[in-house]
Structures are given as structure tokens and as C-alpha cells.
Amino acid sequence: MSKDEIYSNQETGDRPFRFSAAVAEVFPDMLRRSIPGYAASIEAIASLAARYVVPNSNCYDLGCSLGAASLAMQAGITVPGCRIVAVDNAPAMVERCRVIVEQASDPAHSTPIDVQQADIRDTTIENASMVVMNYTLQFLDKNARDAIVAHIYAGLRPGGLFLLSEKVVDEDAHMEELLVDLHHEHKRRNDYSQLEISRKRAALENVLIPESVPVHRARLAQAGFAHSAVWLRYFNFVSIVAIKAGK
């Protein structure tokens, strides 16, 4: 695993965040050291796939990056005739994802993973029993978020599951300050310097736009989801499951 030193490098440390070849190279380390609870969210995807994916249906990993959620779904699926569509718009991520998926796919699990380079807003969602957006919605323009969630809802089968993981902001300004400080402390414990933390925060400004948990749940309800809940929260990182009624 290549170490994330992007924000310690003078040449790359002051640029706006992009899913570049340099980021793709160190992305697993970046996730491990930056997002508390990330491993738990990936582990849960396999369990949810085993429970919710039905035969002859599609599964989607929207904003797949290097395919961790796709591989977790593949590991969890126990029924025949399914397909996983992994979509990302960053060429460097897609190229590396294809290599990882080819190397990591377990022959014992027959569900194929189709890695596609595309804008998730242009991706057809149909006959889906499970859709995952792991830390992806936060990078879309706020004005596009209602539409993509409604599009996912429309493409899900009755009883289908949508898993949404996001960085959020707390409604209480005092608690938000505490949670941000705790997250930065988490990064320091994972050997990021204060310079790296400050540079990455600046790089993500106006690129990653978080919202609050109530806003996310209201959007899910507006789209039509009958049930939603936060199943995992670690500081300002949450994972929400939403289920379409009808099963």
C-alpha cells in the first residue's frame, strides 16, 4: 500500500482536490487514515448484500473509486444471475479499479463486476436490488443531489436497499467544532502532520460540500424511501441505509 504523502509535497499540496493518478496511487492509505469507520462500512456492505440482493437483479456502486464496495457486494451475494455495475468519472480511478477488481475477484463468487467510466448522473439504474454511494454524493453539486437520489429510488426494485455514506455537518455549531477537532486528532494519530491536515482541508473547500443528517434523511423521504436510519456514525462520518417499500 503506497503511503499518502500528497499534502506534504510542495508540488501537490496546495492544489484543489482531484481524483488524479497521484490520488489513485495512494487512495487506500488515504481512506484508512482519513475516514474513521470506513472499514466497518465496507464490511457491512457484504452483509447487506447477502440479505437484500435478489436473483437476476443489478447492483450499483456509484462513485466506485477503487472498487472496495463492489468487491464487498460481490463477496456477500449468494444468489444467481446478478451483475454489479461500478461507475466512476475519474479516468485514473477507473483504470486502477479495473486492475484491482480483476486481481481481487474471488472465482468462488460468480457475480461479475462491470467497471464503467461515466458520470453517475447519466447512469441508467434499473432492476436494482442494491445501490451503494460511498462518500460520493458530497462531491456533487447540491442542486443535483435530489435528482440523483430520486433516480436511484426509481431504479430500485420493491424492497431494494440504498446505502449512502457521507461526511456530514452537525446542526449544533458547538458540537460541529468538537467533531472536527476529534477528526483532526484522529488524523494526527494516523501520522498526518498539521500541515497536511490544513492543506487537505483547504484543498477540499468548495469541492466536498457536506450536509447534515436531517437533510439527507429528508431527501431520502422525499424521493420515496419508506425507511431510513443511520446505522454507523464516527465523528462526522455516517452511513445511512434506506429501503424501498413493497417487498
Strands (DSSP E) contained in 27-151 are 58-62, 83-88, 113-117, 128-134
- Looking at CATH, the fold of the domain delimited by 38-169+210-243 is given as Rossmann fold (3.40.50)
pLDDT for residue 10: 60
Long-range contacts of 219-222 (CB under 8 A, 24+ apart): 219/145, 219/146, 219/149, 220/149, 220/162, 220/164, 222/146, 222/150
Residue spans of the domains in the chain: they are: 6-34+170-204, 38-169+210-243
pLDDT for residue 18: 87
Q: Backbone phi, then psi, for 4, in 5-degree steps? A: -75, 105
Give 3-state DSSP helix, strand, coil % of the chain, rounded to 5: 45, 20, 35
Torsion of CA 149, 16, 19, 120, to 10 degrees: 20
Angle, CA 176 vertex, CA 171 and CA 182 arms, to 5°:
150
pLDDT for residue 198: 92
By three-state DSSP, how is residue 203 classified?
helix
DSSP-assigned letters across all residues of 131-189: EEEES-GGGS-HHHHHHHHHHHHHHEEEEEEEEEEEEB--SSHHHHHHHHHHHHHHHHH
The x, y and z cell numbers of residue 111, run together, are 457475480
For each successive 10 residues of the chain (247 residues), what is the average pLDDT?
81 76 91 92 95 97 96 95 97 95 79 95 97 96 96 97 97 95 94 92 90 97 96 95 90
pLDDT for residue 14: 67
The rounded distance, in Å, linking the Cα atoms of 112 and 72 is: 12
pLDDT for residue 155: 98
- Of 48, 107, 55, residue with least CA distance to 82: 55
- Of 91, 115, 89, residue with least CA distance to 102: 115
Starting at the edge strand found earlier in the chain, the sheet holding 237-243 runs 113-117, 83-88, 58-62, 128-134, 156-167, 237-243, 227-234
The rounded distance, in Å, linking the Cα atoms of 202 and 87 is: 27
Grid coordinates 467544532 are at which residue? 177
pLDDT for residue 126: 98
- Of 35, 44, 33, residue with least CA distance to 8: 33
Does pTM top 0.85 for this prediction?
yes
